[in-house]
């Protein structure tokens, strides 16, 4: 079993800042990518930012254009945690923010070991930005 637990959402005035955190726990063998999506009322869920494993042990960051220069994503591999620092928030950033991870689990069953890669989601945290 894998759990993603988000924290850090809330209500803030336009121009303010919030920092979201997401911790992954469970039978995790490796994490391929961790990131954030958001869904505003009446809109489709959209990617905000993601950190992918890059070549030769590095990482690759992808940030959607609408938040570039305002949001920063970072990942602490030792803690299986991803952060989203959100600065200069705007009312249009109001949404439920979901943590997402693509990771491999390792499970021992009947003396054997099973590895499985799947997509996991957190329960979501509300971010509301007032004008």
> Residue 110: which pLDDT band, with cuts at 50, 70 and 90?
confident
3-state SS track over 13-57: ECCCCEEEEEEEEECEEEEEEEEEEEECCCCCCEEEEEEEECHHH
- Are 95 and 60 contacting, i.e. CB atoms less than 8 angstroms apart? no
Question: Which candidate, 6, 12, 28, 15, places its Cα nearest to that of 84?
Answer: 6
Residue 98 has pLDDT above 90, yes or no: yes
Give the pLDDT confidence score for residue 111 in this predicted structure. Answer: 85
Question: Coil, strand, or helix at residue 111?
Answer: coil
As a whole number of angstroms, the distance between CA 79 and CA 77 comes to 5
Percent of the chain at pLDDT exceeding 70: 98
């Amino acid at each position: 079993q894998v759990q993603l637990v988000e924290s850090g959402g809330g209500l803030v005035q336009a121009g303010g800042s919030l920092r979201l955190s997401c911790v992954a726990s469970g039978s995790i063998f490796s994490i391929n990518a961790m990131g954030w999506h958001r869904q505003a009322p009446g809109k489709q869920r959209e990617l905000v930012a993601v950190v992918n494993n890059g070549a030769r042990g590095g990482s690759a960051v992808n940030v959607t254009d609408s938040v570039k220069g305002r949001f920063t994503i970072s990942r602490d591999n030792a803690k299986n945690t991803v952060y989203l620092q959100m600065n200069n928030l705007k009312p249009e950033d109001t949404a439920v923010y979901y943590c997402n991870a693509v990771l491999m689990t390792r499970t021992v069953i009947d003396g054997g070991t099973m590895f499985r890669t799947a997509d996991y989601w957190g329960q979501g945290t509300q971010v509301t930005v007032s004008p």
